[in-house]
Amino acid sequence: MKSQLSKLDIKSLGRVGVLLGGRSGEREISLMSGNGVLEALLSKGVDAHAFDPGLRCPTELAKEKFDRVFISLHGRYGEDGTIQGLLDLLNLPYTGSGVLASALAIDKIATKQIWLSNGLSTPEFEELTADSDWNAVVKKLGLPLIVKPAHEGSSLGLTKVKSVDELPTAYGLAAGLDKKVIAETCIVGDELTCPLVGQGNTAEALPVIKIIPPQANYDFHHKYFSNETQYLCPTGLAPEVNERVQALALAAYRALGCRTWGRADVMLDQKTGKPYLLEMNTSPGMTSHSLVPMAAKAARVSYADLVLWLLNQTMQHKEGATA
């Protein structure tokens, strides 16, 4: 990263828009991420400006005369391919994955189907409806199991179900946020995450982070606001385990056709030592508690340098609507 940045002409980046806020349930976190990114870019001398598509019509982007944009939106309407499609139509280079990869990655069911078709390990799952046979779901997936919306992030609407009687309530909570709801086998073990950068064969995995939340509850509060959650980087796991997780995360990233950056969440089964993919984030958080900056720091890349490197990748992405 640093070698690329040493040759970068800041003025060549032109007028930069930082997309933040938006309309999803993760608006609050997006504002935190976007303001951090904006501050970092300004500190590097970039002509950067905030643009909130939650407060302004996204079509007003054309009036801003941006040369490129940094997407700091999380969740729907920012991480699902919709804003990416608009930016492609405007011929505006942007950070992160294209329309197809973004749309696939935000859909946890589609993501799992692609991973399974590529022989990658992910917990067994089933799509739930109001008419689902709860006993059959438990028989298939076992207990405990996880119920969550198929298109939300940041653990919004997620429930750890410990008995069949809890399933209807868990489904109702998730269905209140999304029309598609997924249940998956709960893998008990170490909670890990692995950030990824680059594209295709040149993509690489950053250091793995081990997450230790209070009472093993890594919910919205413990992800973004609590100081009780512990993050270990290095993880303290055996080197071969870290390498196995990185290889799995990298394969998952490539299978979805992601580019620029992403973050794979992984569970390490405490009984078998086998890693299982949970989901792929294509517009990861950049807050003070976020994990990609943490891994970059472990790789001796500062927050501001990481942001600048990610923005610099847009110099290669003026090819229109791609993955």
Q: Which two tokens stand for residue 15?
A: 């007028």
**Residue 218 pLDDT > 60:** no
- Considering the candidates 94, 171, 224, 303, report the single residue annotated as catalytic: 224
The structure tokens 């919004």 sit at 156
Rounded CA-CA distance 237/170 in Å is: 33
Give the separation between CA 3 and CA 157, rounded to whole angstroms. 42
Answer whether residue 34 shows pLDDT above 70.
yes
Q: Answer yes or no: 319 catalytic.
A: no
Identified catalytic residue from 107, 152, 178, 279: 279
- 279 catalytic residue (yes or no): yes
For the segment 107-133, the average pLDDT, to the nearest whole number, is 97
- The pTM of the full predicted model, rounded to 2 decimals, is 0.92
Instruction: Please give the pLDDT value at position 223.
Output: 58
Residue 263 is a catalytic residue? yes
Distance of CA 99 to the CA centre of its chain: 15
User: Identity (one letter) of the amino acid at 15?
Assistant: R
How confident is the model over 145-159, as pLDDT tens digits? 999 999 887 678 899
The answer on pLDDT for 249 being more than 90 is yes
Rounded distance between C-alpha atoms, residue 167 and residue 145, angstroms: 9
| The pair of three-digit structure tokens given for residue 43, joined into one six-digit string | 């500190």
Mean of the pLDDT values across residues 251-262? 97
H or E element that contains 19 = strand 15-19
| pLDDT for position 220 | 57
**Catalytic: which of 30, 33, 72, 154?**
154
Annotated catalytic residue 269: no
DSSP 206: P
265 is catalytic: yes
| 281 tagged catalytic | yes
| Residue 4, pLDDT score | 67
Annotation marks residue 79 as catalytic: no
Cα–Cα distance for residue pair 112/301, rounded to 1 Å: 31
